Structure 1
Amino acid sequence: MLAPTLIALLAVTATAVPAHAGADPLETDRDTRRVGPGMTLTSFDRLDTAGWLRADLLTVDLTGTRAGRVRAGYLSPGTVSSVEPLSRQAERAGAIAAVNGDFFDIGRTGAPNGPAVANGRLVKSADPGRPSGTAGIGADGLGQIARISLDGEVALPRGRVVGLDRLNTPKVRGIGAYTPEWGARTRAAGTTEVLVVNGRVASISRGPGSGPVPANGFVLVENGGGDLRRLKPGDPVRLRYRPRSSGAKPAFAIGGRQILVEDGRIPALPDPARHPRTAVGFTADRGRMLLMTVDGRQADSSGATLAELARLMREAGAHDALNLDGGGSSTLLAREPGRARPRLENRPSGGAERRVPNGIGLFAAGSGRLAGFSVETVSRRVFPGLTRRLAARGHDEALGPARGAPRWLASRGRIDRNGTYRAPGGARPGPVRITARRGAARGRARLTVLGPPVRIAATRRGPATYTITGYDREGYAAPIVPSDARLAYDPAKVRVERGATALTVTPRAPSASAAVTIGVAGARTTLPVGRTPPPPPVTDPVIVQRGGLAPGRRRFALASAPSPRTLGEIAAARPGLVLLAGGTAAARSVLEARRVPYADVGRRWRTFDREGTRFVLLDASGGTYQAASLRQFRMLRKALAGARRDPSVHSVIVAGYRSGDPKEAALVQRWLSEFRTATGKGAAVLNAGAPAFGASRLDGVRTFDGGGAGWALFGVSPARTPGWLRAEIRPAAL
């Protein structure tokens, strides 16, 4: 006779996970695209023990040939004491990509804190007490992190020369100078302010002054001392200044704060809090620039500490790196192929771009001659017999805009000269290759033809606008354009307009009650207008009537905190396995006494195979999977990879309590959908402890919510068909 403990372990022989696994962050998504010659944008998501992190990285080759080189330069609103969104600065300068720059005198003058160099010319020096560290490009065309100080002097009458202490800074110690680049904001307070025009003193006053500095002049301010007080109107005064660099002579430079990486090493860094961040760095040969933003203060990205930012930069290849302004200032822009202007790529914590004083711009000049196409569409899925509109943007060799209308080709189905593709009716699901071509220029896209829509839904997007979404038998979804839908309604009660992507539905009278019936390829839905009741809820065919499980299916049960009588009923159904959520010691004893194999759900994470199904049990006892252990994501990914290769595994079922983090749930859904699409094998999620029973399917994945007063008996078929999983819902025994 088998011991009770062995009965419990029959189904739970777990795959071992190394104790050290999960120490590193888990990368969950990565996408890379070209932005210009020698420049790529990589966006990635990570999950670690502190939560989610989303970042964007621009990698720039500074060593390309003159014709194909990307140039880095200084961006600003035009004056030191002004701020504006980075996108305006980039657009005005013609940059194809950019990140925000220095910390600044926020809420006052707007001037950056550190030094700034544009086109080899010093724009401003560091504020008193601020770091002089900068990032930029040397005269040799290579990147550098360098300290830049002010080398300047003021030539006074009778051959006297005094040192210049500050240039275009909001505060001054000693003698400071303001050039026309300062702007119109109030200058630093001082005992003396001298206006010099055409090389001679025009006026002397007590500061602080304000207003624009004349184009042919400058303003001197002295705080303490008496060198300027001796001047008289008409006296000759000359100003000389230049940047002094600890590295190569700077072509451009922008100030920052903490050194993140120095000679490949990370120094001790303060600020343990996670925030949005921006950083710039260079490889050891100085030939590659790395620009990174990390989103923060958001549910799906909490930000990074300075030490974490430093590790991210070093991992990206930085030998030296500098921290730039973060928080609400963090901004990264990048151009898409064929576009004239860059777009916002990161997600600023304030919901929109902050006005900032400067940034790093990246520039690339192309010939404007057509070299290729970027093919875009609102969705890369389409239903049989329906249409999908594609657009081709021409681009040159530098990915800048170029004119040229393409000729369209499709591997199956039809596509017209305007880029409207129609999938063949009755076509088997599968890929379609789309090509846009003109001469030697090419652009390609891949569409997927889904199964016929069995269900459609209308979703409200605005006060009177609705989009239509279709679902095939596997739950794969795709938008449906209004021109592909049949509409039935009373025009006396409602007005309907078909747009390119949405319907506009307006009642003729404010109190009118009406409905619009939408039909697509045999599927129908009703869109209520006014006081019409909503359509009935969707039922999923995974749930069958009692006794509806076909013979020969492998059976297992799911029960949440079952009573002894319910356990008796479960045992009588003779399942091959019971997934027990919230089970007590007494419940386990009942199953062991009846020799029913079981596995506790939600108590610990593990994976095991049972009759051709790979079960992956996840633990969300801390509210999320990550709170319990990050290693279980690696376990899941390994289990799915193994199931792809193993012919004895015909389905994977993930079971546990639902994570309180929607992004975690979406990640599990995506991985299972990718597995289902690649292999055709079954994939499902069982959420224990839900308030009520329910079932749905999305992108090939079945989701079953088990809870309430009852239990569920499942039947699994090894066949790779939409009906591979079925469930009977049984009421709890009283």
Structure 2
Amino acid sequence: MTRHGKRFPAGRPVLTVLAALGTLAGAALTGAAPVAAAPQATRVAPGVTYEELDIPAAKGTAHAHVLRVDLRDPRVRLGLLHPAAVAAREPVSKLANAQGAVAGINGDFFNISEAQHPGVEATGAPVGPAIAEGRTLKAAVPVGQRFGPALPPGTTSEEVLGVGADRRARLDRLVLDGGVRAPEGRLPLGGLNQYALPVGSVGAFTSAWGAASRVRATCGTDTDRAAPCSTDTHEVTVRGGRVVGAADVPGAGAVAAGTTVLIGREAGAQWLRKLAVGERVGVRYRLVAAASRIPYRFALGGYPVLADGRPLPGLDGSVSAVRTAVGVADGGRRVVLLALDGAPAYRTGLTIAEVAGTLRSLGAEDGFSLDGGGSTTIAVREPGAAGATARNHPTDGAERPVANGIGVFSGR
């Protein structure tokens, strides 16, 4: 383990939780991985502490790195760690240091590979919605186009964890509400800066997307990520409220500020072909929260595992892995960021059911699962250090570049 700049051998945790279990079988049945009273924690910044602990689980001991964040402290806030573009990736520690965070963990699942579509490059863009500093970056891809494990029953790719303008963390669902208006009529917007658009829809790409190719947005279907790319596509560029260009093949390269690129597939492509250069076109979009009327300052995708202190029905209790998750407590005033260690001694990790139980044992009322495996990273800036460094052992041996993450910021 890493602590205060020192590297300790795997298998010798710095801080150990002696969790008294009746039997591991009992823990597996309930989905819980009980955690005893928290060990002594390291103060990272006002309202932010870091600790390490062992979690007995059905398939072996998991080692966890935990950040506790008290949002009641006005000096502390959470925000989205993200590269300069939606379609880009960077390691968590680099993102944290570039944005001045004292700590951070990896975030949403993302478009990591495209083996099924020869010649099409993975974009690195996240699956779910994303909001940074109150600014909408992107909406969610169709459920069938997700990367990551199967969702719990009744959940969608629009699930988010976020913090509102009221400084409270909460779980919610953010739905895209948008449209394109032209003399030919109006059409609902099917996507915003997404690596996958619904079949038959039109999606908008803004300067937030980046320079990655937009071809991937027309590949797969709403139910099959591996389905072939559409052969019926069209792209229209809108600047200053007018059409300034068009093409039948989605392009690449940065989208200029004040410009929107509309991409259609199937019926959406046919609608866009009606638009002529010089024609007036209006594009609007916003993310609508299903549960809260409070504007979000930051939000990112994943999926819920715990609600009101109860694990969601249907959580997987058989597949163990290295995980990253977030717990929300005290009505959103306190947050627990959890990242498991990927060292060989602990690589069996936890099942999703055990993650829900662990978050509950750590005091969370609601819980949210993020990307795991090789993406799992927790970075912390030690007192007096110039920047944050990874505190866990990533399973790949080094930090994996990720699409986004949760940053912990302190005004001290």
Provide the rounded CA distance (Å) in 2 between the counterparts of 1:274 and 1:115: 26
Alignment-derived partner of residue 242 in structure 2: 200
Provide the rounded CA distance (Å) in 1 between the counterparts of 2:164 and 2:407: 15
Give the alignment partner of residue 377 of structure 2, picking from 331, 336, 342: 331
Measured against aligned partners, the alpha-carbon deviations of 1:40-80 in whole angstroms (never above 9, x if no partner) come to 11111234552221001111111123xxx211111111101
1:262 aligned onto 2:307: yes
Alignment-derived partner of residue 406 in structure 1: none
Any conservation in 2 of the 1:27–1:44 contact (CA below 8 Å)?
no
Give the alignment partner of residue 235 of structure 1, picking from 276, 279, 294: 279
Matching residue's letter, 1:176: G
Any conservation in 2 of the 1:165–1:176 contact (CA below 8 Å)?
yes
- Structure 2 gaps of 5+ residues are 1-19, 28-33, 114-121, 147-156, 219-231
Any conservation in 1 of the 2:35–2:358 contact (CA below 8 Å)?
no
Any conservation in 2 of the 1:296–1:304 contact (CA below 8 Å)?
no
Any conservation in 1 of the 2:343–2:393 contact (CA below 8 Å)?
no
Give the alignment partner of residue 95 of structure 1, picking from 92, 96, 101: 101
Provide the rounded CA distance (Å) in 1 between the counterparts of 2:247 and 2:317: 43
Provide the rounded CA distance (Å) in 2 between the counterparts of 1:218 and 1:233: 14
Any conservation in 1 of the 2:347–2:395 contact (CA below 8 Å)?
no
Any conservation in 1 of the 2:162–2:296 contact (CA below 8 Å)?
yes
Alignment-derived partner of residue 169 in structure 1: 194
Provide the rounded CA distance (Å) in 2 between the counterparts of 1:221 and 1:342: 39
Provide the rounded CA distance (Å) in 2 between the counterparts of 1:256 and 1:300: 23
Please state whether the residue corresponding to 1:352 is helix, strand or coil: coil
Q: Quote the offset at 1:30 in angstroms.
A: 4.1
Per the alignment, do residues 48 and 156 of structure 1 end up closer, same or farther by CA in structure 2, a change over 3 Å counting?
closer
Alignment-derived partner of residue 87 in structure 2: 81
Please state whether the residue corresponding to 1:95 is helix, strand or coil: coil
Alignment-derived partner of residue 153 in structure 2: none
Q: Quote the offset at 1:290 in angstroms.
A: 1.1
Alignment-derived partner of residue 213 in structure 1: 255
User: Greater RCO between the two (CA within 8 Å, min separation 6)?
Assistant: 2
Measured against aligned partners, the alpha-carbon deviations of 1:655-698 in whole angstroms (never above 9, x if no partner) come to xxxxxxxxxxxxxxxxxxxxxxxxxxxxxxxxxxxxxxxxxxxx
Measured against aligned partners, the alpha-carbon deviations of 1:214-263 in whole angstroms (never above 9, x if no partner) come to 12201001112232111111112122111101223211100003x21011
**Percent pairwise identity:** 41
Matching residue's letter, 1:253: A
Provide the rounded CA distance (Å) in 2 between the counterparts of 1:338 and 1:82: 31
Q: Quote the offset at 1:284 in angstroms.
A: 4.0
Any conservation in 1 of the 2:71–2:77 contact (CA below 8 Å)?
yes
TM-score by length of 2: 0.79
Measured against aligned partners, the alpha-carbon deviations of 1:426-455 in whole angstroms (never above 9, x if no partner) come to xxxxxxxxxxxxxxxxxxxxxxxxxxxxxx
Matching residue's letter, 2:93: S
Give the alignment partner of residue 119 of structure 1, picking from 114, 123, 133: 133
Of stretches 190-199 and 103-112 in structure 1, the one that deviates more from structure 2 is 190-199
Please state whether the residue corresponding to 1:104 is helix, strand or coil: coil
Alignment-derived partner of residue 205 in structure 2: 178
Q: Quote the offset at 1:302 in angstroms.
A: 2.1
1:144 aligned onto 2:170: yes
Any conservation in 2 of the 1:293–1:330 contact (CA below 8 Å)?
yes
Please state whether the residue corresponding to 1:181 is helix, strand or coil: coil
Q: Quote the offset at 1:27 in angstroms.
A: 6.7
Any conservation in 1 of the 2:136–2:286 contact (CA below 8 Å)?
yes
Provide the rounded CA distance (Å) in 2 between the counterparts of 1:342 and 1:197: 40
Provide the rounded CA distance (Å) in 2 between the counterparts of 1:347 and 1:20: 30
Please state whether the residue corresponding to 1:307 is helix, strand or coil: helix
Please state whether the residue corresponding to 1:185 is helix, strand or coil: coil
Per the alignment, do residues 192 and 27 of structure 1 end up closer, same or farther by CA in structure 2, a change over 3 Å counting?
same
Alignment-derived partner of residue 314 in structure 1: 360
1:34 aligned onto 2:60: no
Q: Whose radius of gyration is greater, 1 or 2?
A: 1
Q: Quote the offset at 1:117 in angstroms.
A: 0.8
Matching residue's letter, 1:133: E
Please state whether the residue corresponding to 2:321 is helix, strand or coil: coil
Give the number of aligned pairs: 344
**Whose strand proportion is higher, 1 or 2?**
1
Give the alignment partner of residue 318 of structure 2, picking from 256, 268, 272: 272
Measured against aligned partners, the alpha-carbon deviations of 1:588-615 in whole angstroms (never above 9, x if no partner) come to xxxxxxxxxxxxxxxxxxxxxxxxxxxx
Matching residue's letter, 1:154: V
Provide the rounded CA distance (Å) in 2 between the counterparts of 1:288 and 1:301: 28
Per the alignment, do residues 220 and 19 of structure 1 end up closer, same or farther by CA in structure 2, a change over 3 Å counting?
closer
Provide the rounded CA distance (Å) in 2 between the counterparts of 1:31 and 1:351: 28
Provide the rounded CA distance (Å) in 2 between the counterparts of 1:139 and 1:157: 38
TM-score by length of 1: 0.45
- Structure 1 gaps of 5+ residues are 1-17, 366-397, 399-734
Alignment-derived partner of residue 52 in structure 1: 61
Give the alignment partner of residue 64 of structure 1, picking from 57, 66, 73: 73
Moved over 3 A (4+): 18-31, 46-49
Q: Quote the offset at 1:19 in angstroms.
A: 11
Any conservation in 1 of the 2:35–2:362 contact (CA below 8 Å)?
no
Provide the rounded CA distance (Å) in 1 between the counterparts of 2:23 and 2:333: 35
